[in-house]
Amino acid sequence: MLNLTPILKRDQPTSRIKIGAKKVGPNTDIVEIRHNDRRAFFYVDPVDDSIVDGIGNKVRMHQNVKTVFGGIDRGKDFLVDPDAAKRDVVECSSAKIHTSEVPPEELEPFLRENDYLLHPMEEVVPKANSDELATFEVAAMEPTGYNTLRVTHNTDLEFIDAGELRELRATRNAASHGPGAPGPGGPEEAAGDEEEVQVSLEPKKPTVSFEEDVAGLPEVKRTAENLLALFDPDVRDEVVERYGDEFASRGNSMLLYGPPGCGKTLISEAIAYEAKYNSNIEDSYGEVKFLEIKGSDVLSKYSGESEKRVEAIFEKAHGIAQEGFAVLFFDEVDTLIPDRGDDSLQRHERSLTNAFLQEMNEIEDNLLVIGATNMPFTIDPAATRRFPIQQFIPQPNEEVMAEVWRKHLSAMSGTEGIDYDRLGEASKGYTPAEIADRVLGSELQREFVESVYQPDREPIEPNTDYFLERLEGTDPKTIRQYVASVRTQIDDLEGYPELRRYVEEQAERLGMRLGPGSGSGSGPSSLETLLEAGVNASGSNAGGDGDGDGDGGDGDGGDSDGGDSDGGDSDESRDGDSSSAVGADGGTDESGTADDGVFEFGADGDTGDDGGGSDGR
């Protein structure tokens, strides 16, 4: 029995592990692994360790394999028995499998012809005639009580949909506590049930509509209308009949992106409202419910907790949608799916992206997922592909801002004569959230209340001049802070041309420089000014060439501004995002080791990005 060190990888199939040939012998085909009181079998690929390979006392395996053992405990032995044989693995009588990346007609013969070793987890297999990998999930297998069963030509393989997969997960998890093969002790008991993760996700009836509450944005409304139309079976069937399946595919997800405070949250609820009241979705599915959660509320300082919360949120959302239809909205979704190609990212952040992608692969027909972000260029590329509909939400122009004022003030008495066009024109540079929170928020309420109960106060006449005066007493900050926070990343906006144009326009309006090294200020920093003055003075005193330049250059080389009060306040630029378009209150990382030059699989493609993704979840 060998006691080896497990190294988790992402670039190899789950059913095959790699061990040094001197450890197991060149003819070894199957090994049994024992860890955490659990056992499982795997095919082995002996590695020639007569050369400098670095495998030594290690065993390399796909990171998903750790789920079979309930995780990897570095303080416990990881035992490998090289004397195991194929006959030691119990034959699989039946199995239920969910696959979305490999067609069943291709996967079934592959499993049979290779005497595939099934495990109760997400399996990773090579794609036919390709170097890429693909996944499928084993939902249930018979006989129960084993962590490994061998597929034969007599195995009854049933391919199931995502809905049945969820129903069978509990059974699969229970079965995963069994042994890898028959033993005198029978199935082992679970090492201990994990504590259930609690998440707050309360459904609500949508009350915000496009007609009454969202000003402008005709293209956004059109996109939402088309998306919801494809949930109507009659519409979808007719599109298929006329134009084919390709034009009837909708995807169950949508990404809203753009500057903060311009209505992404409001629009998501308006889409749910349209689904409930202005579509045939309730006739086909049942009651429509709106679910909202902020990405930052999902994050946890404890390792692995954020991933569990993501899984729990989707599980609860599917449960709520079971008797109808649900719109699940993730605000600040970029915090949950950061780009795994970012070298500064920590392991748990990569694992979080993997967890989210896995859940997005299993969205059922009665769930629509909407994500909102101010920073789409920070999202993992594989995650952006999970949102086939991507809609830019622009900052409203003067006409729309006039409508924002109108919707806020229309219910107030004495406002009949207000010139909303003047207010809209004066609001250039502001976001709807700023109008709602800073101009028409609690300060205004206090003014009104004090004018009633304080005897020395005159009644307020809410006319155009009054609101213009209030507007002049504030300064638009959100867009300045947003542009300051993204200005150095302008090249990253290449995939988002509308957002890039917007940032360029706003930077020009605000007098800010763009590109790497532009820093946080719009002009030379005080340090640069001092340095330039010092160089000029030095050059003059030293009797240079007489033009004040000397040989020291012009002082611009660093181009790194000292920053001003607007720079880097990304928190505020995000916070405004929860406000409406009409101003409603806004209110040993194994996989990273260089043992064998591991390929970061899935950085560009979908296959490895999903459940198997990165750095061990």
Q: What CATH number should be reported for the domain holding residue 444?
A: 1.10.8
Query: Do 90 and 182 form a contact (C-beta atoms < 8 A)?
Result: yes
Task: Please name which of 578, 610, 607, 601 lies closest in space to residue 333, comparing C-alpha atoms.
Answer: 578
497: amino acid identity, one letter: P
- The pLDDT assigned to 519 comes to 58
List 338's β-bridge partners, or say none.
Answer: 379
Residue 578 lies in a domain: no
Query: Do 604 and 352 form a contact (C-beta atoms < 8 A)?
Result: no
Domain match, 41 and 161 both:
yes
Task: Please name which of 42, 139, 52 lies closest in space to residue 99, comparing C-alpha atoms.
Answer: 139
Q: Using CA atoms, how far apart are residues 408 and 600, in angstroms rounded to an integer?
A: 51
Angle between helix 478-486 and 497-510 (nearest 10): 110
Residue 582 lies in a domain: no
Tokens, residue 268 = 């998501």
Domain match, 249 and 378 both:
yes
Domain with 142 in it: what CATH number? 2.40.40.20
Task: Please name which of 523, 508, 503, 509 lies closest in space to residue 563, comparing C-alpha atoms.
Answer: 523
Radius of gyration of the CA atoms of the chain, in A: 30
Task: Please name which of 558, 488, 490 lies closest in space to residue 516, comparing C-alpha atoms.
Answer: 488
Q: Using CA atoms, how far apart are residues 294 and 444, in angstroms rounded to an integer?
A: 28
Ramachandran quadrant class, 261 (left: phi over 0; alpha: psi -120 to 50; beta: rest): left
Any idea which residue has 């995650």 for tokens? 383
Domain match, 253 and 310 both:
yes
Query: Do 340 and 617 form a contact (C-beta atoms < 8 A)?
Result: no
Output DSSP code: residue 335.
G
Beta strands at 133-142 and 122-126: parallel, antiparallel or unpaired: antiparallel
Residue 202 lies in a domain: no
Residue 199 lies in a domain: no
Beta strands at 253-257 and 94-99: parallel, antiparallel or unpaired: unpaired
Residue 20 lies in a domain: yes
Query: Do 87 and 41 form a contact (C-beta atoms < 8 A)?
Result: no
Residue 337 lies in a domain: yes
In terms of C-beta density within 10 A (0-12 exposed, 13-18 middle, 19 or more buried), how is residue 27 classed?
exposed
Cβ-proximal residues to 436 (8 Å cutoff; 6+ apart), any chain: 408, 579, 580, 583, 584, 585, 586
387: containing domain: 210-392
Beta strands in 162-308 (DSSP E): 253-257, 288-294
| DSSP 3-state of 61 | strand
In terms of C-beta density within 10 A (0-12 exposed, 13-18 middle, 19 or more buried), how is residue 508 classed?
exposed
What is the DSSP annotation of 575-599?
Answer: HGGGS-TT-------GGG--SS---
Domain match, 598 and 534 both:
no
Domain match, 185 and 143 both:
yes
In terms of C-beta density within 10 A (0-12 exposed, 13-18 middle, 19 or more buried), how is residue 287 classed?
middle
Domain match, 326 and 354 both:
yes
Domain match, 423 and 466 both:
yes
Any idea which residue has 């006739």 for tokens? 283
Any idea which residue has 């996967």 for tokens? 107
Q: Using CA atoms, how far apart are residues 7 and 333, in angstroms rounded to an integer?
A: 31
Beta strands in 413-530 (DSSP E): none
List 39's β-bridge partners, or say none.
Answer: 34
Q: What angle do CA 483, 487, 489 make, to 5 degrees?
A: 130
> pLDDT means per 10 residues in the chain (617 residues)?
83 88 82 93 82 66 90 85 90 93 92 93 87 89 91 93 78 47 38 56 89 85 90 86 82 91 92 93 90 90 87 87 89 92 82 90 86 93 90 89 85 82 89 85 82 83 86 86 89 89 90 73 44 46 41 40 40 40 42 35 40 40
223: amino acid identity, one letter: T
Domain match, 484 and 473 both:
no
Query: Do 439 and 470 form a contact (C-beta atoms < 8 A)?
Result: yes
Q: Using CA atoms, how far apart are residues 475 and 468, in angstroms rounded to an integer?
A: 12
| DSSP 3-state of 490 | helix
Cβ-proximal residues to 563 (8 Å cutoff; 6+ apart), any chain: 519, 520, 521, 525
Q: Of 363, 392, 421, which marks where a domain is finished?
A: 392
Domain match, 233 and 303 both:
yes
Q: Is the previous residue joined to 143 through a cis bond, with omega within 30 degrees of 0?
A: yes
Q: Of 392, 414, 446, which marks where a domain is finished?
A: 392
Residue 200 lies in a domain: no
Domain match, 549 and 598 both:
no
Output DSSP code: residue 437.
I
Domain match, 156 and 44 both:
yes
Residue 72 lies in a domain: yes
Q: Using CA atoms, how far apart are residues 15 and 41, in angstroms rounded to an integer?
A: 8
Task: Please name which of 251, 256, 226 lies closest in space to residue 329, comparing C-alpha atoms.
Answer: 256
Task: Please name which of 369, 372, 475 lies closest in space to residue 431, comparing C-alpha atoms.
Answer: 475
Domain with 235 in it: what CATH number? 3.40.50.300
Q: Of 477, 497, 528, which marks where a domain is finished?
A: 477
Domain count, the chain: 4
Q: Using CA atoms, how far apart are residues 82 and 103, in angstroms rounded to an integer?
A: 34
**Sign of the dihedral through C-alpha 435, 436, 437, 441:** positive
Tokens, residue 578 = 């929860």
Domain match, 277 and 378 both:
yes
Cβ-proximal residues to 415 (8 Å cutoff; 6+ apart), any chain: 409, 462, 463
413 phi/psi in degrees, rounded to 5? -70, 145
- The pLDDT assigned to 372 comes to 95
Q: Using CA atoms, how far apart are residues 553 and 332, in angstroms rounded to an integer?
A: 44
